[in-house]
Amino acid sequence: MALRKIRIEQVNTRDGFEQFARLPYQIYGDRDAWWPPDVHNEVDLLAGRALITAHLNLCPFAAFSDGRLVARVSAVVNYRYNQHWNEKLGQLIHFEALPNEEDAVGAMLEEGLTWLERHGMTAVRSGFAAFLDYPYAIDNYGALPSFLLRGNPDCYHRYFKNARFFTEKGQVDYTAPLTPEILERYRRMIEAAQAAGVTIKSWRDYGFLAAIDVWTDVTNAAFDRHWGWNPITRTEVRPMLLPLQPTPVADLSMVAVVDGNPVGAVFSVPDLSAQLAKVRSGVRLAPERGGGTRGALVNIGVLEAARSRGLARAMAAQSFLVMARQQMRFAGYTLVLDDNWPSRRTAESLGARVTGNFVTYRREL
């Protein structure tokens, strides 16, 4: 076989950013169903126009084989993360690659690693960064993943292992069937919390903007020592979530209040496959995968002083009951670290089971 001509470039032009952002269309475009990227927002991030870039040093790389774009990745130094954890950890985000491109992908990853090392990083992670990156699927290849999660090809794991990465963390995605028996269980969970003095309100009833700020503050406090997390600000979160006010998110997301003070928050979304997924004409999604029937609890947090009182279960239960009233048949509980046993027990108590597995990679420099 003739040797391919491989070229690795740092991307720094508008056309380059656009081509970079659209590579997933080549990788996933022939699937029955997949989540396309938000090209406009991705270009803004690459160009340094997103609010979060004030905390980042980001350099996108593109790999070409015989003149064709075959892989991409962005090397990132997240100053806020490193200050919070007192680490020198770089990130590789935006990774996507066509199959059978080992040489091009390997060369591109080494360029990214070299860039991070030059910027003082001593280790690199790929597959988890707050608001920037999500873990790599290790099952359900080809199926539509839960909202926000990857449905990457299986060759990605080979690419990272060839580049001397190892598995740093595992994560699971849960799904609960919203059967009459389970819905009755949820009602009992909510009644028990109410008897203990807990009030649970939807974001709509609480006041959407006020609920966004509660979610931001509760999440920062509850996740302060949660692996992979870094603090976020109200200034960043408000423009991301405010556009969701007229949507079902306002009814599915919850705030828990004790003695007049917010102590817990849940962010949940309806099934967005009809609005955001690319689904081939004539394809019917499995009900537990989408098709208008699967909502998802994306994030749940409870302040430490209010834990061990059933708040997380009660907030999730209230969110899932609303999903059922809106004709959803399944509820996702996403995403949980393998070793986060309290959250996993909460998922199991809600009648959920593991329906997806994911990993995050790391390499020491």
User: Can you give the pLDDT at residue 337?
Assistant: 97
Final residue of a structural domain among 104, 133, 162? 133
Q: How many domains does the chain have?
A: 2
- Residue 263 shares a structural domain with residue 340: yes
- Write out the residue range of the structural domain in which residue 15 sits: 6-133
User: CATH number, domain at 315?
Assistant: 3.40.630.30
Between CA 10 and CA 241 the distance in angstroms is 32
Whether residues 205 and 321 share a domain: the answer is yes
Residue 289 pLDDT level (bands cut at 50, 70, 90): confident
Res 49 pLDDT > 80: yes
Range 186-207 average pLDDT: 97
Q: Are residues 269 and 191 in the same domain?
A: yes
Cα separations (Å) of 90 from 65, 236, 254? 26, 22, 34
Whether residue 330 sits in one domain with residue 182: yes
* Mean pLDDT across 328-343: 96
Residue 365 lies in a domain: no
Given 75, 100, 133, which residue is the final one in a domain? Answer: 133
What percentage of the chain carries pLDDT values higher than 70? 99
Q: Mean per-residue pLDDT for 48-66?
A: 96
What's the pLDDT at 9? Answer: 98
**328 shares a domain with 198:** yes
Could you tell me which residues come within 8 angstroms of residue 175 by beta carbon, excluding any fewer than 6 positions away? 288, 294, 330, 331, 332, 333, 352, 353, 355
The predicted pLDDT at position 2 comes to 56
To the nearest whole percent, how much of the chain has pLDDT over 90?
95
Residue 348 inside a domain? The answer is: yes
Is residue 248 one of the residues assigned to a domain?
Answer: yes
- Is the predicted pLDDT of residue 86 greater than 60, yes or no? yes
- The residue out of 103, 133, 163 marking a domain boundary is 133
Is residue 354 domain-shared with residue 299, that is, in the same domain? yes
Question: Is the pLDDT reported for residue 254 higher than 60?
Answer: yes
Higher-confidence residue of 309 and 304: namely: 304
Q: How high is the mean pLDDT of the chain?
A: 96
Are 58 and 203 in the same domain? Answer: no
Q: What is the mean pLDDT of residues 143-157?
A: 95
Q: How far apart are CA 350 and CA 186, in angstroms?
A: 7
Note whether residue 138 is domain-resident. no
Do 195 and 79 have their domain in common? Answer: no
pLDDT at position 1, please? 44
Give the Cα separation of 165 and 151 in Å (integer). 20
> Per-residue pLDDT averaged across 275-287, rounded?
93
Q: What are the backbone angles phi and psi of residue 215, rounded to the nearest 5°?
A: -60, -45
For residue 31, being part of any structural domain is answered with yes
Whether 278 and 211 map to the same domain: the answer is yes
Could you tell me if 16 and 83 lie in one domain? yes
**Whether residues 80 and 220 fall in one domain:** no
Kindly report the pTM of this predicted structure: 0.95
Give the integer Cα–Cα distance in Å for 225 and 134: 19
Average pLDDT on 284-309 reads: 92
**In-domain check, residue 154:** no
Given a cut of 90, whether residue 115 has pLDDT beyond it is yes
My answer on whether 180 and 324 are in the same domain is: yes
